Amino acid sequence: MVDRSTLTRRALLGAAGAAGVAGTVAAWPRLTGADIPGRGEDALTILILGTAQDAAGRQVIADAFMEEHPDIAVRIQSVQATDWGDFFAKILTMVASGTQPDIVYTATEGAQLFAERLALPLDDYLQRDAEEIRDYFEDVHPSLIEAFMYKGSLYQLPLDFNAANMYLNLDVLERNGLEMPGEDWSRDDFSELLRGMQGDATPYYWTNRLFGGIVPWLYVNDTSFLTEEKARGGEQFWSTFYPGEERSGGYLWTGSNATAEPVHESFEYLRSLVADGLAVRPEEGGGNTLVGLFASGRIGTTPAGGYWVQGLAEGGMRPEQYDVQFFPRWRSQRHQFGAAGYAVMKTTRKADQAWEWIKYTASKEAMQLAFPTPSTTPTRRSMVNDALYAGVGPEHWSRFYDTLDRFPTSGPIPAPPQQAAVETALIRNVSTALSGGAAGVERSLQNLDRDLRAVFAEEDS
Amino acid sequence: MRTDRRSRLMTWLFLAPTMIGVGIFVVVPIVGSLLLAFFRWDIITSPRFVGLANFTELATDRTVGISFLNTAVFVAVAVLAQLCIAMLLAVLVQSKMPSWMRVFFRSTFFFPLVLSAASVSILMKYLFNESYGVINWALSLVGIPAVPWLTSPQWAMVVVIAVYVWQNFGFSFLLFVGGLSAIPGDVYEAGAIDGATGWRRFRHLTLPLVSPTVLVASVMAIITALQVFDQPYVLTRGGPGDSTRTVVMVIYESAFRQLEFGRASAIGLVLMLLIMLVTAAQFRLARRFVFYQ
């Protein structure tokens, strides 16, 4: 039995104070963030969008790199985000807090944001190590490279890409006595195909975002919601790595083109598909349910890139149950694509080491480690082969890469440095344009035009 | 004299942990946000002082205007529905029933509140899917065509409110159960002698006696509803168009999507002032409508 009178208030306070100090000391690594794995280590930090499992998955590349470069320690760090916009915002927060990485794996959506504000141009390194890196460019389509050029400088070497192709469910086609369309099918052929499966499956399932939403339909109609121009510059690069190729210094999206007649035409076409029950509203699309719905024969067609092959295989879909086709022809058959690669942060103090990483990851050896399954399309043409798609890919898997050869004017996702605001404006007004009558299209495009003008005016100021 | 000083010192010592915590995590961010509202800042470049520009631009910003309107509609409908449902169920649960049943209902009604709003909203998104949702499937069994719950501007706000109310009424319910339990039984006995039963009993006895709880519940419900974010963000991302975009969503998008931290802070301050005004108005009105025993 403890004698209560022996525990004085002073002793109690003293004990509490001592406990507080001890607790603070014990928790110091957590309070200061020093217990975050890799914090404080002198390693080349590479940031990717994904989970800790994704980071662990890339460790094999890091290990192979460190074997080749034992003097460069590499740490792969993942950041979870709902989409690329969310990912970029988190990177900027890391920059603000002084914990920025050295290298970031980023997609077309952020290419110009990075080029404008965060990334280091690779031009000098490319010229210095031209012979070492030449085999990469010989294997990669120039359209993909041009997408990562900004005002004449190259900022990233794209490692994987996805063009917006059309997936067709062969089970649905067969149930409805429909034929797989040919490569030069038209928009009207597409409408006819959708009508042929109406009542049996959802004919066209799509989504509302920059990739695979309204934009592919604008591109095949030879237009875009933004004014697209090409920058000058990059001549030395093109003459070094792609002699004879007439290419620019990169894309420039300079303002709104939302009120152009072909844009209205594309919007009206999609609105009529929704109104006629041939397409779902775009807000319904995307998400984790899509694979299951497509694999179970409840969706007839949907736009997607090569990244979907592995997902469908894991979802239980056999290669003979679906196939992939180019987007239907309208005024043109220009396709939309998105790509991704590593960008070196201009704040890094390890630029030379970062360049070694960029060079290594662009090698065939590293890309084979990075893309062992068709969960995306490697940018090296030589890797898009039977071996990659054997047993899992659709019959015409070659169309994933052929898209670039067949339609050399195919362009990247329209993503200027103000991508977040542009995407917000697009998503907002696409949904209103397609959710009502024909008059709503005109009104929504005017609103889109006004929103985009505000975005570009703000940047100018 | 010495004892007084010692006593004051002890007072400050005991208050210090709380004051330091509140200072670091509440006061500093509020002051920081207040200052930030007068700057343009995108994290990467240095903040640039712009005076009242962030505030004056809000006045002509269509998205901000719509978001305040949406939030007002949301608060009016959601809070009313939340309080009415909570009161109705609290009265029913407090009526005569076996105690195990009362415990069961209390737990059941409170349960949605402990779930993550994001998880609930993801689940609801599946249920309300136009093409493959269970709700439209059930409606189709009785011949009702598919309703575009989340993809039409007319229905989207209805669903956001319904999901929010379903998840949040449990808190008001719990407050009302507490308030109703505190009403002495002899009041009802006296009322019964005077012929007060049913609706009259509720209107003239229960409601006045529970009115202080109604005040607390409504103040808390309005403050929470004015800051709604999770449900519209997950269910509709503010769409279709701007039809379910709320003020806090615009703050989030301005800060973390468009990197306009000054604008986001300005909107945040306006919202804070609005919350303070509404709460002050409620307490002012309470003088007339709240009955303290």
The per-residue pLDDT for B191 is 85
Would you state the pLDDT for residue A1?
Answer: 46
| B4 against A337, higher pLDDT | A337
A415–B contact, CB cutoff 8 A: no
Identify the bridge partners of residue A149 per DSSP, sorted by sequence position. Answer: A154
Confirm if B279 and B105 have CB atoms less than 8 A apart: no
- pLDDT 10s digits, A388-443: 999 999 999 999 999 999 999 999 999 999 998 899 899 989 988 987 788 889 99
Q: Are A48 and A76 in contact (CB under 8 A)?
A: yes
Q: What is the CA radius of gyration of chain B?
A: 24
Predicted confidence at residue A100, as pLDDT, reads: 87
Q: Which residue has the tokens 């977040």?
A: A420
At residue A162, what are phi and psi to the nearest 5 degrees?
Answer: -145, 125
Q: Return residues 40-79 of B near A (CB < 8 Å).
A: 42-44
Cα–Cα nearest to A427, from A208, A109, A207, A164 = A208
Q: Indicate the residue of B44, B132, B258 with minimum beta-carbon distance to A421.
A: B258
Cα distance between residue B144 and residue B292, in whole Å: 50
- Contact between residue A249 and residue A230 where contact means Cβ atoms under 8 Å apart: yes
The pLDDT value given to residue B232: 96
CB proximity B1 to A under 8 Å = no
Expressed in percent and rounded to 5, the helix, strand and coil fractions of chain B are 75, 0, 20
Chain B CA closest to residue A418 = B258
**Which string of DSSP letters, residue by residue, matches A59-128?**
HHHHHHHHHH-TT--EEEEEE--SSHHHHHHHHHHHHHTT---SEEEEEHHHHHHIIIIIBPP-HHHHHH
* Beta-carbon count within 10 A of B185 CB: 7
Whether the ω angle into residue A37 lies within 30 degrees of 0, i.e. cis, is no
Strands (E), B213-267: none
Tell me the CATH number of domain A164-337+386-460, given options 3.40.50.720, 1.10.1240.10, 3.40.50.300, 3.40.190.10: 3.40.190.10
The DSSP bridge partners found for residue A44 are A74
The Cα–Cα gap between A434 and A270 comes to 7
Q: What is the pLDDT of residue A460?
A: 58
pLDDT tens, position by position, B276-289? 999 999 999 888 88
Residue A410: both structure tokens together: 């195919």
Q: Which of B54, B151, B250 to mutate to test the interface with A (most CBs of A within 10 A)?
A: B151
Longest dimension (CA), chain A: 95
| Rounded Cα distance, A104 and A28, in Å | 30
Ranges of H-type helices in A303-350: 308-314
Q: Taking CB atoms and an 8 Å limit, are A86 and B236 in contact across chains?
A: no
Please write the tens of the pLDDT for every residue from A260-279: 999 999 999 999 999 999 99
* Average of per-residue pLDDT values in chain B: 91
CA quadruple A50, B164, A282, A255: dihedral positive or negative? negative
Topology alike, domains A44-161+339-380 and A164-337+386-460: yes
In order of A4, A65, A72, A379, A382, the CA distances from A367 in angstroms are: 71, 12, 19, 9, 11
Average pLDDT over residues B124-148: 92
State the ipTM, two decimals: 0.78
Residues of A in contact with B238 (CB under 8 A): 428
Enumerate the H helices of B115-193 as residue ranges: 117-127, 134-141, 153-181, 185-193
Strands (E), B20-77: 39-40, 48-49
Residue A299 in contact with partner chain B when CB distance is under 8 A: no
Q: Does B259 touch chain A (CB under 8 A)?
A: yes
> pLDDT of B243-279, one tens digit each?
999 999 999 999 988 888 999 999 999 999 999 999 9
Yes or no: domain B53-289 corresponds to CATH 1.10.3720.10: yes
Chain B neighbors of A425, CB-CB under 8 A: none
Residue-wise pLDDT tens digits, B115-131: 999 999 999 999 998 88
In chain B, where the domains are located: 53-289
According to CATH, what is the number of the domain A44-161+339-380?
3.40.190.10
Rounded to whole angstroms, what are the CA distances from A428 to A164, A209, A302, A420, B28?
A: 21, 10, 21, 12, 35
> Along chain A (461 residues), what's the average pLDDT of each consecutive run of 10 residues?
65 89 88 67 90 89 95 93 85 83 95 94 97 96 97 97 97 96 96 95 89 94 97 96 94 97 97 94 76 91 94 92 97 96 94 97 96 95 95 95 96 94 91 86 95 84 60
Bridge partners of A336, per DSSP, are A411
Nearest to B129 among A208, A284, A432 (CB): A284
CB distance from B140 to chain A under 8 Å? no
DSSP helix/strand/coil, B143: coil
Nearest chain B alpha carbon to A432: B241
CA quadruple A203, A208, A211, A213: dihedral sign: positive
| Per-residue pLDDT at B163 exceeds 60 | yes
Candidate from B43, B129, B239 with C-beta closest to A96: B43
- Give tens-digit pLDDT for A16-53: 899 999 998 998 887 777 766 556 668 999 999 999 88
| Residue B240 in this model has a pLDDT that exceeds 50 | yes
CA distance A244 to chain B (A): 39
The pLDDT value given to residue A39: 63
Residues B11-16, mean pLDDT to the nearest whole number: 92
Q: Which residues of A touch B236 (CB under 8 A)?
A: 283
**Residue B46 above 70 pLDDT?**
yes
d(CA B123, CA B118): 9
Q: CB-based contact (8 Å) between B187 and chain A?
A: no
What is the pLDDT, as a whole number, of residue A3? 52
**H helix or E strand, kind and range, residue A303:** strand A299-304
Pick the residue from chain A with its C-alpha nearest to B62.
Answer: A451
Six-digit token string for A119 = 């990334």
Give the pLDDT confidence of B72-116 residue by residue, as tens digits.
999 999 999 999 999 999 999 988 888 899 999 999 999 999 999
Confidence of residue B1 (pLDDT cuts 50, 70, 90): low
Among chain A residues, CA nearest to B239? A428
What residue in B sits closest to A440 (Cα-Cα)?
B241
Q: Please work out, in degrees rounded to the nearest 5, the angle formed at the alpha carbon of residue B176 by the alpha carbons of B171 and B181.
A: 130
CB contact under 8 Å between B44 and A118, yes or no, is yes
